[in-house]
Structure 1
Amino acid sequence: MTEQKEQEIVDRVEKRVLEKLEKSVCKEDTQKVLQEPRNKWFKDANGSGTDSLMANALGNSFIAWSAWEQIRRLTCVACGKKYVRQLTEDDHAEEVCEQICQTIYDIAMMRKKDDQNGED
């Protein structure tokens, strides 16, 4: 096999691999989607979720992160997307997510207040 033929084969293989890589989604890509609302509602000053707004409203960080999974899904539904990674194409996704987070937070705080008033 000549060097030219070998190089042609290598070039074709590289092209195919790059095309496949472009179609695949990295975890890093999906972490960027809805990052602003996630940081606001589900992370505290230390970068963890133990003392976040949502953890405090819902009672603990495990329930808060479970809520985040559902909020992500609801955001997809509201934006007409099947996957979170597709939300990068939607200019209103973060706004929709913010509204859902605010609603969940308000409901949790109202219930917390009602529970406290019921104990008095």
Structure 2
Amino acid sequence: MSTAEATHLIDDALWSRTLTHQLAAEMADSTLVFFYADAQGHTQSVELQLLTPTPATETRGMCQFSVRLLGPAALLLAQQTYRARHAAQGDFALFIGPIARTAQGIEYEACISHAL
């Protein structure tokens, strides 16, 4: 499999990259490209809009918050971890799940916890 075909795969370095609340706030209202494998194992992509993150809660050395994303109505991504790419901030591994179908498209949520 070539690198282009494997863009949806998540490597060890990506697993260790943290999406902080500050970074999520800076990326609000921008686009992330989510990569996934189709039925033949070929990489496909879809753009989701990152909406404003919830306020962060900091307790016992942990930071917790969530972000919502808005995607096209024509494609429902399964609940799982995806490689997501921001044009300026690079790649992240994000676990998302669909939470609503609206007139604007499908909403997803990523719940994030990380050590401070």
Between the two structures, name the one with larger relative contact order (CA 8 Å, sep ≥ 6): 2
User: How high is the TM-score relative to the length of structure 2?
Assistant: 0.24
Which structure shows the higher strand fraction? 2
Which structure shows the higher helix fraction? 1
